[in-house]
Structure 1
Amino acid sequence: MKGVNMRFTIFGMLGILLWGIALDGAEKNTTIGNPYGICAHLNRWEYKQLSRELELMKQAGIGNVRTDLDWNQLEAEKGKWNFERWDAVVEEAEKNGIAVLPILGGALPQRELPLLEHMDSWRNYLKTVLLHYPRISHWEVVNEPDLSSEFSKAEKYGPFLLESARMIKHVRPEATVMTGGFGSASSYLERVLESGGAEAVEILNLHTYYWKLFPESALGAELQGVRKQMVKHGMGDKELWITETGYATSRCVDMKPITAAVLGKLNLDKDNIPVALIRDTEYYYCSDRLNCDRENFFSGKKNFHEISLKELKTLSPEQYPLLMLAPNESFPMDYRNELLNYVKEGGTLFVPGGGIPLYFNLRKQNGAVVQEVAGEWIQKMFHIGWEAFWTNPQAPASTHVQEIASGFSKDIPFPDVVGRYLSKRNLKPGDELIPVVTAYSKDRSYSAPVAAIYKFNSELKGNIVVFTWMDAMESVSRETQGKFLPRTYLIALSSGVDKLFWYSFRSMGENESREHHFGIVERDLTPKPAYYAYKTLTEHCPPHSTRPVLSKKGEFYIASWSKPDGDKVYAIWCFQGSKSGKFRIEGVVKGVKDHLGNRLPAVGDVMQISDSITYLTGDSALSVMCE
């Protein structure tokens, strides 16, 4: 898995959306088989805890594990093969009834790079591993080809995939071949399918990360789009897998000191000054409770006022002088004038992190919400500017060299890595950019603010406070990860996905960077809430259940399916917060549990539904409808 910030463009379906509706061959199978997978580096740093990890996976109901079949480990020296570690992985997995999905190639030997210039060696590698592991049925042809330097052009990966598939089928005709997980579908996927990929494989494979978005805002629309591409290329009856998705849980430093210091410069740091937050169900746009929490920036004594985007028009800067935006670089530009008027009238926008403010536009298109680069015009409108390594070669892709500006306490903590920078280029006469934290290249030839105040005294009379730190704003809390895991699975399964592998099982946990905290257990194997949420999901929707059908009414999502024993199960949630709803329940309810498996009181016609799933299990006649 690689750190890619935004992977797909379509990411929201509006109105009432039935994700369970079949798209051609997407749902010919009425049951789901065993869709539960996990990613783990079992032959690498996790090897010493191999047995215990697989036991924990089994206890959670996980039936599939994906790991790297590292060529450089198997054949460290040309012609000398060592399968000791991988043999142990396969043996322990089989003991626990867990199927292994190898990532062919894995870490490649330097001597065999570039791979396309060493195809004879690649064919020998394929033949060797396929014959050594005759009981492994499915084979993934390299990881994230679209994000690699060698296969960044689809026209190279398509023929390579076709040649690899032919070799696999020659050695093992019964083997199942699947694409590498595409980290960015869209045009790359289309070109791969056109250049041989469609005929090469039985399974199309995606990596769908939305760590700045809610699962509901992205996944269903994307999967339906991919299914249409598959049908177009004659793959309508083939399987669709997701072999990586997930949310990291790295902890951000306490941002209250730097927030208070910055707002103090504007006389906005007093506890009696309220903060306005946006929570909009139409655009899935929320100021917090996804990648950041208000409590990490503001005192517990602060008062908060939540508004929808439509209510921006009447938001008074006098009553609410501070408005916090979401730390995801996006904003629905249909509301740009309302936002601009707020600043013109003296309001202060607070961008708590996530990269470049107002970089993406969110807009409606054909019943969906699409994301697109907004362009320089929006930066000019708000008198702000930015730089990054792709716009200024002197700007470092990332740097740890940062210094607090004069006038601020030197012991104020802030995140230790940054890669987006602020500029003065769109300031108007009377405006100023006040640095709070300045970042430098290693040789200090480049410097720019990464936390700053845009203080306006032109046609704009307010302020924009910007923190650009990204890594800290690309994670969720451990509790949120636990809520999102089953929601992601139910959306994916109802959209025709056959297997989904969560990334990952165990967190590296050596530092607080995002990549070290994707696991559902900690480094010491202590379960996070997501582990228990996974276990609860597999208990309520065990293998060979019917495929979940998902509907949405208002703010409520309702998924339903039948277990192999005939019992009916409903899973109900809303995308954020908590809301009371009236439901018509028919049939016998045998049990009610939350997303972690805790028993809940018996339900009535009115239920309090939150962003954590409520499971209702009943007899085959159970019916739950939102009124």
Structure 2
Amino acid sequence: MRRTLSIAAICGFCLLWGIGAKAQTAFQQHTPLPPDSPYGVDLNLVLVRNELGIRQLPTLLTGLSRAGIGYVRIGLEWNTVEPHQGVWNFATTDRIVEVAARYHMRVLAELGGTPRWASTATGGSSDPWDYPPRNWNDWSNYAAQLAHRYRGMVMAWKVLNEPVLLDRRVGGAWSASTYAKALGLAYRAIHREDPRAIVMSGCVWWDDPATMPNSKYYRALVIDPTYPLYKNIDVMNLHYNDIPPIAQAKWLADLHRVMRRDAGRELPIWIDEVAYPADPSEQNDAGYKDGPLSQAKYLTDTLRVNFADPAVEKVFWTFPFDGPSRTHGPVEYTWGLYAVIKQNGVKHGFLQPRPSLEAYADFIHAHPKEDMP
């Protein structure tokens, strides 16, 4: 789950790109919207700040762009654009959209990050951004403001990330009915402002037995009486980090069956998270246990398996660079297309491309957009 941008990260990002503290009265993107692309990455500016330092962002984006990656999933978070009720500041999000376009990438914008003033978290909570809002009109207004501002420029929107896992982390605050409401209200607000936009969930289906909590959460969303899942999404998305490509093929087949059963139709599919480590000590999948070259093979096999399914429109590699200092989980430290090389006593590391980045570039070169199913 993406953490919200801190004030320090926001200020650093703004200073880097020469943005003033005052929001612009109207957003004007000076770089044309890049062409659509099937190939993406998931970028977290907090991790850029912590692992690399914001000033290395151009180096990172240049390398990803040269590889041919044309989509970036990134948060346009509520507590960044409305830090105080009714006080809007789009300086950071404007620059995110502008800089992505400059590096030939479209944006899959993730909604979330509830401001403290709007959050249902208790006053002393250290993570108010992880909780639902007190007033749903405020949430709808946030989604509408962004959709209106970036109409025709941000074409795809994601509502939170993995709400069932977020629900467990914050003690049941994101029940299925609460998330269904957040998704439904965002869907309606975004489509009022931009009917062409694509809206997806935070990923709510896994290939689990029906008795698993994830599956129960999904079923509750499907049958929600007010905001049923399939009336409030335009595409279905999947996450399968560290899932072998052969199992990914099974998940896809099962998802087609699930959509026919629960929606009576099949939606396009976006894989907006998939990755695998480069360190052999973290590699668990048979056939992919030989270090960085196995990570590259996993990436190539993943792209082949998923794009063999005509319904799959996009694949996003989750980690463009390593997170050696992160505390996201017991693994995911060497999952990047770039290694982050750190020296003793130095806070920030430097980027070193891995074979997986070359493998991604080779696949894109061999399978340009016009050749995709």
Q: TM-score under structure 1 normalisation?
A: 0.44
Q: Distance in 2 between matches of 1:214 and 1:237?
A: 24
Question: CA deviation digits over 1:343-383, x for unaligned, max 9?
Answer: xxxxxxxxxxxxxxxxxxxxxxxxxxxxxxxxxxxxxxxxx
Q: Distance in 1 between matches of 2:236 and 2:285?
A: 31
CA contact 1:127–1:171 (8 Å) conserved in 2 = yes
Q: By how many angstroms is 1:533 displaced?
A: 0.6
Q: Distance in 1 between matches of 2:285 and 2:142?
A: 48
**Partner of 1:170 in structure 2?**
192
**Partner of 1:98 in structure 2?**
105
**Structure 2 matches for 1:230-379, cutoff 5 A?**
230-234=259-263, 236-250=265-279, 252=281, 286=286, 290=288
Which SS does the other structure have where 2:351 is aligned? coil
Q: For 2:360, which of 505, 517, 534 is the aligned residue? A: 534
**Partner of 2:245 in structure 1?**
215
Which SS does the other structure have where 1:233 is aligned? helix
Q: Distance in 2 between matches of 1:143 and 1:118?
A: 20
Which SS does the other structure have where 2:108 is aligned? strand
Q: By how many angstroms is 1:142 displaced?
A: 1.1
Does structure 1 residue 544 correspond to structure 2 residue 370? yes
Q: Distance in 1 between matches of 2:220 and 2:308?
A: 27
CA contact 1:145–1:151 (8 Å) conserved in 2 = no
Q: By how many angstroms is 1:243 displaced?
A: 0.6
Q: Distance in 2 between matches of 1:148 and 1:232?
A: 27
**What one-letter code is carried by the residue in structure 2 that aligns with 1:122?**
W
Count how many residue pairs are aligned between Structure 1 and Structure 2: 297
Higher Cα Rg, which structure: 1
Q: By how many angstroms is 1:99 displaced?
A: 0.5
Q: For 1:199, which of 207, 231, 236 is the aligned residue? A: 231
Which SS does the other structure have where 2:223 is aligned? helix
Q: For 1:146, which of 147, 154, 164 is the aligned residue? A: 164
**Partner of 1:491 in structure 2?**
305
Q: Distance in 2 between matches of 1:100 and 1:546?
A: 20
**Structure 1 pair 290/43, CA: closer, same or farther in 2 (3 Å)?**
closer
Which SS does the other structure have where 1:507 is aligned? coil
Does structure 1 residue 52 correspond to structure 2 residue 74? no
Q: By how many angstroms is 1:240 displaced?
A: 0.9
CA contact 2:276–2:295 (8 Å) conserved in 1 = yes
Which structure carries more helix by proportion? Answer: 2
Does structure 1 residue 125 correspond to structure 2 residue 147? no
Does structure 1 residue 66 correspond to structure 2 residue 73? yes
Q: Distance in 1 between matches of 2:198 and 2:189?
A: 12
CA contact 2:187–2:199 (8 Å) conserved in 1 = yes
**What one-letter code is carried by the residue in structure 2 that aligns with 1:481?**
Q
**Partner of 1:517 in structure 2?**
334
Q: Distance in 2 between matches of 1:113 and 1:132?
A: 24
Question: CA deviation digits over 1:302-339, x for unaligned, max 9?
Answer: xxxxxxxxxxxxxxxxxxxxxxxxxxxxxxxxxxxxxx
Q: For 1:38, which of 11, 36, 41 is the aligned residue? A: 41
Which structure carries more strand by proportion? Answer: 1
**Structure 1 pair 247/153, CA: closer, same or farther in 2 (3 Å)?**
same
**Partner of 1:506 in structure 2?**
321
**Partner of 1:190 in structure 2?**
219
**Structure 2 matches for 1:378-527, cutoff 5 A?**
477-495=291-309, 496-510=311-325, 514-523=331-340, 524-527=350-353
- Return 5+ residue gaps in structure 2 as ranges: 3-35, 121-131, 209-214, 341-349
Question: CA deviation digits over 1:73-130, x for unaligned, max 9?
Answer: 222333333322222221121122210111011x332333231532122112112212
Q: Distance in 2 between matches of 1:61 and 1:207?
A: 22
**Structure 1 pair 76/44, CA: closer, same or farther in 2 (3 Å)?**
farther
After superposition, the CA RMSD in angstroms is: 2.7
**Partner of 2:123 in structure 1?**
none
Q: Distance in 2 between matches of 1:159 and 1:125?
A: 14
Q: Distance in 2 between matches of 1:97 and 1:236?
A: 33
Q: By how many angstroms is 1:51 displaced?
A: 2.5
Q: Distance in 2 between matches of 1:229 and 1:126?
A: 29
**What one-letter code is carried by the residue in structure 1 that aligns with 2:40?**
G
**Structure 2 matches for 1:587-626, cutoff 5 A?**
none
Question: CA deviation digits over 1:431-463, x for unaligned, max 9?
Answer: xxxxxxxxxxxxxxxxxxxxxxxxxxxxxxxxx
Which SS does the other structure have where 2:361 is aligned? helix
**Structure 1 pair 108/251, CA: closer, same or farther in 2 (3 Å)?**
farther
Q: By how many angstroms is 1:176 displaced?
A: 1.7
**Partner of 1:270 in structure 2?**
none
